[in-house]
């Protein structure tokens, strides 16, 4: 149950992505006064969606949310109508040359959700100020002042930067040090979402695996799966997705110019550079309509390995989620770590409320977050390195140790 606001501690969260919204709920449950500031002007400003597997951190995720949001989680699950069993709760991977099964990574209890839909659910009851882009943070003995692009300044007792991979808050805390900037990883990532309005084009995706199937063994990694299900009995109402990852600089995939990284141009580029793949994957690309209904994006993924120290404004300002440790998508760890950050952040404020020393408690939060985050970022890069060669795939952590939490 969410406790009505009972104390005068003001927390400003910068960024209404999943990390910011989750932390807001966790804090509100304990009666803290939270305001989230988001640069986007509305929930629907960005058209891009992608799927996220909630797995080892799902129990912590649910604990942070109010029951009303937890009860509605099925609305965000890509296909909530499945009979969830070990065959469904896993990530299988096929050899992209032969169609043989390479490995199946068990993900017990996992649910794959739409990022857009779960974000929408998590806005419930959160005070979000849209169209507020943070530009500066200052502090004095008592409070922190957050300045926005539009000239407004607000005061808070604590500020949490959950403003994603290109975090401005991180820049500020590291005093604009070059070393605080996320760097291009050398790996491109494409996502595409299609409503085929044709059950025969959806059936092969579903029958291969009802959640997601991955393909490896060539110079790119691919995946296909179910994105949204309107009528579970009628696959012509379902939407599918595919993703593709490749290394920058390959002759077979010339770097896409920045002008072709979204929309029709992105799809045209992907169709042109994806040929002769295994039928279930190749068909999804060939069948994606070029009438503007396929939502396609291409990005060079960025990463950053966190390090200490940074200016915490005497324990009042810190980071969580992708702002703290932007990593590659391999093994689906990014949001799992963000969930742990959110939970630890709430615990830190509760300890301070109970009389603990602010700087000491946040030094401990930062040290743990940096150590855990740095390991996860580095591990995601190693995983990518191994993913394009049939020999090295078997050395990948997801093959040897699955998708679970690494100690």
Ligand X SMILES: Cc1cc2nc3c(=O)[nH]c(=O)nc-3n(C[C@H](O)[C@H](O)[C@H](O)COP(=O)(O)OP(=O)(O)OC[C@H]3O[C@@H](n4cnc5c(N)ncnc54)[C@H](O)[C@@H]3O)c2cc1C
With CB under 6 A as the contact rule, the residue among 9, 77, 319, 338 that binds ligand X is: 338
State yes or no: residue 89 binds ligand X (CB under 6 A).
no
With CB under 6 A as the contact rule, the residue among 23, 39, 366, 387 that binds ligand X is: 39
With CB under 6 A as the contact rule, the residue among 79, 220, 239, 333 that binds ligand X is: 333
State yes or no: residue 225 binds ligand X (CB under 6 A).
no
In the complex with ligand X, the residue whose CB is nearer, 131 or 390, is: 131
**Residues β-bridged to residue 159:** 12, 317
Size of the site for ligand X (CB under 6 A): 33
Binding residues among 134-153 for ligand X as defined by CB under 6 A: 134
Judge residue 234's burial from the number of C-beta atoms within 10 Å of its C-beta, 0-12 exposed, 13-18 middle, 19 or more buried: exposed
Euclidean distance between CA atoms 106 and 84, whole angstroms: 13
State yes or no: residue 53 binds ligand X (CB under 6 A).
yes
Q: Which stretch binds ligand X (CB under 6 A): 69-77, 197-205, 227-235, 327-335?
A: 327-335
Euclidean distance between CA atoms 308 and 373, whole angstroms: 12
Q: Which residue has the tokens 């008592």?
A: 142
State yes or no: residue 261 binds ligand X (CB under 6 A).
no
Strands 10-14 and 158-161: parallel
State yes or no: residue 40 binds ligand X (CB under 6 A).
yes
Beta strands across the sheet bearing 144-148: 134-139, 144-148, 153-156
State yes or no: residue 228 binds ligand X (CB under 6 A).
no
In the complex with ligand X, the residue whose CB is nearer, 235 or 366, is: 366
State yes or no: residue 128 binds ligand X (CB under 6 A).
no
With CB under 6 A as the contact rule, the residue among 14, 77, 348, 374 that binds ligand X is: 14
3-state secondary structure 104-169: EEECCCCEEEEHHHHHHHHCCCCCEEECCCEEEEEECCCCEEEEECCCCEEEECEEEECCCCCCHH
In the complex with ligand X, the residue whose CB is nearer, 221 or 323, is: 323
State yes or no: residue 335 binds ligand X (CB under 6 A).
yes
In the complex with ligand X, the residue whose CB is nearer, 191 or 344, is: 191
* Residue with nearest beta carbon to ligand X: 17
Question: Cβ of residue 92: shortest distance to ligand X, in angstroms?
Answer: 15
State yes or no: residue 380 binds ligand X (CB under 6 A).
no
Question: Cβ of residue 327: shortest distance to ligand X, in angstroms?
Answer: 8
State yes or no: residue 277 binds ligand X (CB under 6 A).
no
Q: Which residue has the tokens 């990883």?
A: 185
Euclidean distance between CA atoms 341 and 75, whole angstroms: 25
State yes or no: residue 387 binds ligand X (CB under 6 A).
no
Q: Which residue has the tokens 């994806």?
A: 274
Cα–Cα distances in Å, from 157 out to 72, 138, 144?
A: 32, 12, 6
State yes or no: residue 303 binds ligand X (CB under 6 A).
no
Question: Cβ of residue 229: shortest distance to ligand X, in angstroms?
Answer: 18
In the complex with ligand X, the residue whose CB is nearer, 28 or 168, is: 168
Binding mask 151-190 for ligand X (x = CB under 6 A): -----------xxx---x----------------------
**Furthest-apart CA pair in the chain: how many Å?**
65
Q: How many CA atoms lie within 13 A of 275 on its CB side?
A: 6
State yes or no: residue 191 binds ligand X (CB under 6 A).
yes
Q: Are 29 and 377 in contact (CB under 8 A)?
A: no
Residue-by-residue DSSP string for 245-265? EEETT-TTSPPPPGGGSBHHH
| Footprint on this chain of ligand X (rule: CB under 6 A) | 14-20, 37-40, 50, 52-53, 115, 132-134, 162-164, 168, 191, 321-323, 329, 332-336, 338
């Amino acid at each position: 149950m969410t406790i009505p606001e009972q104390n005068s501690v003001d927390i400003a969260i910068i960024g209404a992505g999943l990390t910011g919204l989750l932390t807001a709920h966790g804090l509100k449950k304990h009666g803290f006064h939270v305001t989230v500031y988001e640069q986007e002007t509305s929930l629907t400003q960005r058209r891009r969606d992608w799927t996220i597997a909630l797995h080892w951190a799902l129990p912590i995720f649910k604990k942070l949310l109010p029951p009303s949001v937890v009860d509605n989680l099925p609305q965000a699950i890509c296909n909530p109508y499945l009979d969830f069993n070990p065959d469904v709760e896993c990530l299988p991977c096929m050899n992209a040359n032969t169609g043989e099964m390479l490995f199946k990574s068990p993900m017990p209890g996992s649910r794959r959700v739409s990022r857009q839909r779960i974000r929408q659910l998590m806005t419930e009851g959160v005070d979000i100020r849209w169209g507020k882009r943070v530009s500066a943070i200052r502090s004095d003995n008592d409070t922190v002042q957050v300045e926005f692009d539009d000239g407004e300044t607000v005061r808070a007792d604590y500020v949490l930067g959950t403003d994603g991979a290109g975090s401005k808050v991180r820049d500020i805390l590291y005093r604009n040090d070059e070393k605080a900037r996320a760097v291009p990883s050398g790996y491109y990532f494409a996502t595409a979402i299609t409503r085929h309005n044709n059950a025969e084009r959806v059936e092969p995706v579903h029958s291969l695996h009802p959640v997601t199937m991955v393909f490896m063994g060539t110079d790119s990694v691919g995946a296909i799966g179910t994105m949204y299900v309107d009528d579970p009995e009628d696959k012509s109402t379902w939407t599918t997705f595919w993703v593709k990852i490749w290394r920058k600089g390959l002759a077979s995939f010339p770097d896409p110019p920045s002008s072709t990284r979204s929309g029709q141009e992105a799809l045209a580029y992907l169709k042109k550079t994806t040929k002769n793949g295994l039928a279930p994957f190749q068909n999804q690309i060939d069948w994606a309509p070029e009438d503007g209904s396929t939502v396609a994006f291409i990005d060079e993924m960025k990463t950053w390995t966190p390090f200490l120290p940074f200016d915490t404004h005497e324990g009042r300002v810190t980071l969580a989620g992708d702002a703290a440790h932007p990593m590659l998508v391999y093994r689906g760890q990014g949001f799992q770590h963000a969930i742990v950050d959110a939970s630890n952040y709430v615990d830190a404020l509760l300890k301070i409320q109970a009389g603990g020393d602010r700087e000491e408690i946040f030094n401990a939060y930062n040290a743990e977050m940096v150590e855990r985050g740095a390991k996860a970022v580095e591990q995601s890069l190693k995983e990518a390195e191994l993913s394009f060669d049939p020999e090295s795939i078997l050395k990948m952590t997801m093959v040897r140790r699955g998708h679970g939490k690494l100690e």
